Amino acid sequence: MFKQDSAFLDFNLIKEELPKVINKYNSMEVVNNKFTIARTLGEFYRELIYIHPFREGNGRTIREFLREYTMYKYNLILDYSKINKQNFLLGITDSYTYPSLLAYEINNALVEPKKELKK
């Protein structure tokens, strides 16, 4: 399957590959370095996009999945409003030319959750 210049995993392999990728990232050790987290999330995003598990809405669904995953695994908020959309897409589609661009944009979007004030 292709979309413009992007190739995706053969749909017959989705059921086999998706659990491998999710298990890979679930089993990774949690780090406290924000840019390392951003780089890991960028790689995870690219792998999920390549697998392309849904006929429609892959980008939206994967972004929401990663937002929840980031909060659960790293206790950070992934605030997509802080991402430059053009750079984000370029970081996905042209990662060989711009290998750190996606991580840079995700790093900008990682924020600490606000702590509630105790009375």
Question: Could you give the CA distance from residue 30 to residue 38 in angstroms, rounded to a whole number?
Answer: 12
What does the pLDDT read at residue 75?
A: 95
Residue 116 within a domain: no
> What does DSSP say about strands 77-78 and 110-111: parallel, antiparallel, or unpaired?
antiparallel
The reply to whether 118 falls in a domain is no
- Domain tally, the chain: 1
Q: Which amino acid is at 41?
A: L
Q: Quote the domain boundaries for residue 76.
A: 2-111
Look at residues 113, 22, 40 and name the one whose alpha carbon lies nearest to residue 75. 113
**119, part of any domain:** no
- Report the amino acid identity of residue 48: L
Q: What is the pLDDT of residues 16-42, one digit of tens each?
A: 999 999 999 999 999 989 999 999 999
Average pLDDT over residues 1-9: 62
Under a CB-based contact definition with an 8 Å cutoff, are residues 52 and 58 in contact? yes
Residue 117: inside a domain? no
* Of the listed ranges 13-27, 33-47, 86-100, the one predicted with least confidence: 86-100
**44, part of any domain:** yes
> Which has the higher per-residue pLDDT, 3 or 41?
41
The CATH number that applies at residue 78 is 1.10.3290.10
pTM of the model: 0.84
* One-letter identity of residue 14: I
Residue-wise pLDDT tens digits, 71-84:
999 999 999 999 99
Choose between 108 and 49: higher pLDDT: 108
